[in-house]
Structure 1
Amino acid sequence: MTTPTTKAEGAGRLQLPPGSKVGIIAGGGKLPIDVANGLTDQGHKPFILMVQGEALPESQLGQFEHEVLSLESIGSLVGILKRRGVTHIVLAGEIKRRPRLGAMRFNLGLLSIVPLVISALARGDDGLLKVVVRGLEARGFTVVGAHQIVPTLTAGEGTLTRLAPSKADWKDIKAAHEAAIAIGVLDIGQGAVAIGGRAIALEGIEGTDGLLARVKDLRGHGRLAGKTGGALVKCAKPDQELRVDLPSIGVQTVEGAHAAGLAGIAVEAGRSLILDSATVISRADALGLFVIGLPAKEHV
């Protein structure tokens, strides 16, 4: 096993200017909590804007200054952030649904961005995220990545677990990595699974958990019958806006990979997040899975 690193080589924690206030636009999952706790450890008190139905006030986020905003009220976003004195913004966590257009609460703030949002939706999720980032920056905010606030979340390069990939595993890693890059070009997803040296499942709108559940269901059918092992690879989409929506794995990913009969997981070092990394690695070791960080921007 190579010595794991906890952040990208040369990466460092963002130094916030005096008087800065960070607002976290929080979706679901653990990432917003990790970012909020990381800011607190640095002496900064964040403001949390929870996306209704995704982040929960009764979660750990509720202990921070916060408001809840529905996707249909997104036109009020900038006004809320400015009223709270926010200077820097982190977009963190999952948002599983799109706003219901018929329920949108139109105001001048929303009307000003509708044309941009419509054109961005036609380009896919990454196009929409880029428009959101540009729109926030145009209104005076500085958008930063979760990995810049808490660099210890970033996957290091090399084998992070006791178990390293075998020669057969590397064939699966290579095939899944190539497939993940290919669907990233089309802005479909960030992950792929390969078994027996060929890609057999691609991440779609259901996300990584859904992908792994699908692989589990495929075991014992058709050409997969009797085949063991396999690998999940997650990587950033080519030309992705790296300040938002970096690929991430957590304990649930490890559990899902094990349930799907996979041998391990590979992520892109420096451009992927490992949530609660100590627990992730410990659980992977306990289940006999490998977790590795692939060199960024390189094919394996």
Structure 2
Amino acid sequence: MSRIAVIAGQGRLAPAVVSLLDQPLVYALDGYAPEGIDVQPFRLERLVPFLDDLVDHGVDRVVFAGAIRRPRLDPEAFDPRTAQLVPRILMAMQSGDDAALRIVLDVFEEHGLTIVSVEEIAAPLVPGEGILTGQPSDHDKRDAARGAALLEATGGLDLGQGVVVAQGLCLALETLPGTQAMLDFAGRHAGLRPNLNGAKGVFYKAPKPGQDRRIDLPVIGPDTVTQTAEAGLAGIAWQAGGVILLDQDEAIRRADEAGIFLWARS
């Protein structure tokens, strides 16, 4: 019998994915489990025995859902087979977290496990092209296009997946502190817009160019909408088919209440 396993990270994505699947097996790195769902913990130091266990339970597909941070590793906890992977993973980590994640995915696939994307198994969470609510102005559309170009240019540097553009200028770029920190910064510096009575600015979100879309797709949700409104921006635009939208009805309700737009941009 074919089964799917969810590797649950922190945040609201994993519970949303689990709710759309039929009796998945749900696991999380020890100490990094999300709230709201029951999970079985595992340790990265025993990755190979964990993968053997998945196969023994009939799992053939795995989906990663939620934020997974690099755990602290205990050298004494490694089993011999997982220890053999350490040089390979450490070498990849020198090229950044994305490269390290790709190596981990390779190890899963070497055990006969197929990595599937959230889009494949929970398509309702990834909106296709269209304006969900509100109406971006021509100025907003130009700012969104500028945001897309900026993320395309910075993607190879392995930075964040979001940017704030106002009147054609980059007001803030998402980096390690995350989306909320970027939006807080943009709100505090809204006065830098050339025309204070002009376009308010747009928060644009997209995957990094060349990103493996089976993992770490950008995520927005109702809290993102609230933070965008508090930053004084006109709305949120994102790459259609490339961004997960959590709790869509509530996100739209908050956007309507705040008078901002939500746009999955082609």
Q: Which TM-score applies when normalising by structure 1?
A: 0.81
The reply to whether residue 38 of structure 1 matches residue 20 of structure 2 is yes
Judging changes above 3 Å, is the alpha-carbon distance between structure 1 residues 175 and 115 closer, same or farther for their aligned structure 2 residues?
Answer: same
Aligned to 1:298: none
Aligned to 1:152: 124
Judging changes above 3 Å, is the alpha-carbon distance between structure 1 residues 81 and 109 closer, same or farther for their aligned structure 2 residues?
Answer: farther
- Cα separation, 2, equivalents of 1:102 and 1:173: 44
Aligned to 2:221: 250
Q: Which TM-score applies when normalising by structure 2?
A: 0.91
Asked if 2 retains the 8 angstrom alpha-carbon contact of 1:72 and 1:101, the reply is: yes
Q: In angstroms, what is the RMSD of aligned CA positions?
A: 2.1
Aligned to 2:10: 28
1:135 deviation in Å?
1.2
Judging changes above 3 Å, is the alpha-carbon distance between structure 1 residues 102 and 224 closer, same or farther for their aligned structure 2 residues?
Answer: farther
1:176 deviation in Å?
1.5
Alignment gaps of 5+ in structure 1: 1-18, 296-300
Aligned to 1:279: 250
Q: Which amino acid aligns with 1:156?
A: G
* Partner SS state of residue 87, structure 1: strand
* Partner SS state of residue 59, structure 2: coil
Aligned to 2:187: 216
Q: Which amino acid aligns with 1:38?
A: L
Asked if 1 retains the 8 angstrom alpha-carbon contact of 2:151 and 2:163, the reply is: yes
- Cα separation, 1, equivalents of 2:244 and 2:159: 19
1:106-133 CA distances to partner (integer Å, 9 max, x unpaired)? 2123213212211221222221222121
1:109-124 → structure 2 map (5 Å cutoff): 109-124=81-96
- Cα separation, 1, equivalents of 2:257 and 2:72: 43
Identity of aligned residues (%): 36
* Range with bigger deviation, 251-260 or 67-76: 67-76
* Partner SS state of residue 143, structure 1: strand
Aligned to 1:81: 54
* Partner SS state of residue 194, structure 1: strand
* Partner SS state of residue 258, structure 1: helix
The reply to whether residue 93 of structure 1 matches residue 66 of structure 2 is yes
Aligned to 2:101: 129
1:5-20 → structure 2 map (5 Å cutoff): 19-20=1-2
1:155 deviation in Å?
1.7
| Among candidates 36, 56, 66, match of residue 60 of structure 1 | 36
Asked if 1 retains the 8 angstrom alpha-carbon contact of 2:45 and 2:83, the reply is: no
Q: Which amino acid aligns with 2:102?
A: K
1:78-108 CA distances to partner (integer Å, 9 max, x unpaired)? 244234432210011012x322245662212
Alignment gaps of 5+ in structure 2: none
Asked if 2 retains the 8 angstrom alpha-carbon contact of 1:229 and 1:262, the reply is: yes
